[in-house]
Chain A
Amino acid sequence: MSASNKTAYAWSTLLRGIAGLVCALLLWEVFARSGLYSKALTPPLWTVAIRLKDMLADGAIFMHTGVTILRVIVGLIVSFAIAVPMGMLMGTSRTVERMFSPLLSVLMPIPSLAWVPLFVLWLGIGNSSTVLVVIYASVFTLTYNTWTGARAINQVWTKSAFVMGANSRQLLWNVMLPGTMPYVISGLRIAFGRAWIAVIGGELLASPDWGLGKIIFDAREFLETESMLAALVIIGLIGIAIEKLFLRRLEMATIDRWGMAQGASN
């Protein structure tokens, strides 16, 4: 009985979800066609869909998307290379912790996008500025999470490993790093969220030649609202795809499998 009940339940959830989406789209369509606002500002769905199709057929959109994603990836890799060793050091050594935690708490709350005009002056418009914004946006959260993770490691684990004769290298690779991993990965998810905001904002403000932010910025110049909406749809889809397909998988492949989900928190 419960099985059939469950499917009925899931069906009604699905139907209501679709109904919600359809309602929102209908509302937009009615508003767009009502003429309350100029059609150039609120294009009907059909125009947006056609523009989306054109953009995909044209192919330039893939280049823009690729460049944006590449910036995020490069920035995150650099952040990771800085943040994980730094966080581990802070989590294991009291001196390092006392030295760097004030710096961290001053730099972390400064919005990364506040730096964009400055980075543009220093490095010019283009990849270096946008990548640097991504690094700024992600490196502090990642450091903070790694640091918290290293501090939260169960003392019994390190002590038992020590008693069983592990040397400090084994201690690091077999106990400390795996133990910190849940925090690092949840930090990576938060860092990606921030990096994603930073890259789009950076592209809007620094207006490089390529990137999804650039499409939106150009669309404003030429009053092409449908391109803007199409780009927003693409940005949303990519964000969801990376979050669900990559970061969630990563979490499942590591934390869940090692049975450490309990320790993971943000």
Chain B
Amino acid sequence: MRRFLDIALGCIPFLLLFAAWQLLSVYGGFPKKLVPELGQIVSTFARLAMEGILWNAAVSTLYRLLLGFMLSAVIGVVIGILMGRHKAIEDALLPLISFVYPIPGIAYAPLFVLWFGLGDLPAILLIAFASTFAVIMNTWKGVKSVKPVWVKSAEIMGARNVDIFWRIVLPGALPFILSGLRLGLASAWRILVAVEMLMSVKVGLGWMIFGSQTFLNTDVMLATIALIGLIGVVLEKQVFEQIERRTVVRWGMVRG
């Protein structure tokens, strides 16, 4: 009963929003092209979904996200660990990274287009570049947070360097690394759509929105945005909360 009430309450703002939209569309006097009726948006979504256009776009967007993110995860974790373990590397890289980190990744988009042309390659590289800093910074903080006592005790007990790294430093830093990966993926996701618009990739959700602008296909744009929202929720709830639950929460490093 309580759960039902929760759902019912949660629906109210959506219903109000939809009702307001429908009123605006029908009686607002705006061109139907710009403010299409709800029914039209839904039927466009259904049509695009049936024809497979929406899925194709989603798959190629997710493919870019995954590839770019994996690249940044590997590079970011390696650099972060090196910085955490070696003072000289930390000192040398930190000022550089602190300057580049706050520049929005999307600002590099035109530069990457000049360097690498249009299409998939610059998009994936830019996604990797933009999300790698969050991974570096968090991994670095994580390695620094490993208590020296743990490392020293292991040394005294005769652990080899390799063992110390795999059994103490890495697990100890993992909660931070995971939250860095999460931040990195989130920041990659936040700019990916815009990157696709600027890089004129062949297929992709961002490109679908941008391409529809020329033809005033507002219904296509809104249908695509709805799918983007859906993917975002799934990424957040299913991917990352699951990873956290299976690893650091299970190992008792953070509370669930």
Contact = CB atoms under 8 A, between A and B. Distances in A.
Given A99-B9, A117-B197, A239-B102, A197 B108 contact: no
Nearest to B35: A122
Given A117-B197, A121-B34, A197-B106, A225 B111 contact: yes
A17 B91 CA distance: 5
Contacts of B228: 110-111, 114
A122 B229 CA distance: 20
B51 interface: no
Interface string B179-219: 00000000001111110011000000110011011001010
Contacts of B49: none
A156 interface: no
Contact of A99 (B12, B34, B96, B229): B12
A23 B92 CA distance: 9
A102 B103 CA distance: 32
B88 interface: yes
Contacts of A196: 102, 104
B158 interface: no
A111 B114 contact: no
A108 B191 CA distance: 14
Classify the interface of chain B: helix, strand, loop or mixed: helix
Contacts of B99: 236, 240
Classify the interface of chain A: helix, strand, loop or mixed: helix
Contacts of B54: none
Contacts of B218: 118, 121
A87 to B, nearest CB: 15
Task: Say which size band chain B's interface belongs to.
Answer: 35 or more
B114 A225 contact: yes
A19 B92 contact: yes
B92 A20 contact: yes
A116 interface: yes
Interface stretch (B69-77, B143-151, B230-238, B246-254): B230-238
A111 B110 contact: no
A100 interface: yes
B190 to A, nearest CB: 5
A111 B190 contact: yes
A98 B197 contact: no
B66 interface: no
B10 interface: yes
Most buried by A among B94, B104, B190, B233: B104
B190 A95 contact: no
A228 B236 contact: no
Interface string B110-143: 1101110000000000000000000000000000
Given A194-B190, A239-B102, A109 B198 contact: no
The 10 closest A-B pairs by CB, nearest first: A109-B232, A20-B92, A16-B91, A113-B194, A102-B10, A239-B102, A220-B110, A197-B104, A117-B213, A17-B95
Given A41-B114, A122-B34, A201-B106, 11 more contacts: A95-B9, A99-B13, A110-B232, A111-B191, A117-B213, A118-B213, A121-B213, A193-B102, A201-B104, A212-B107, A240-B98
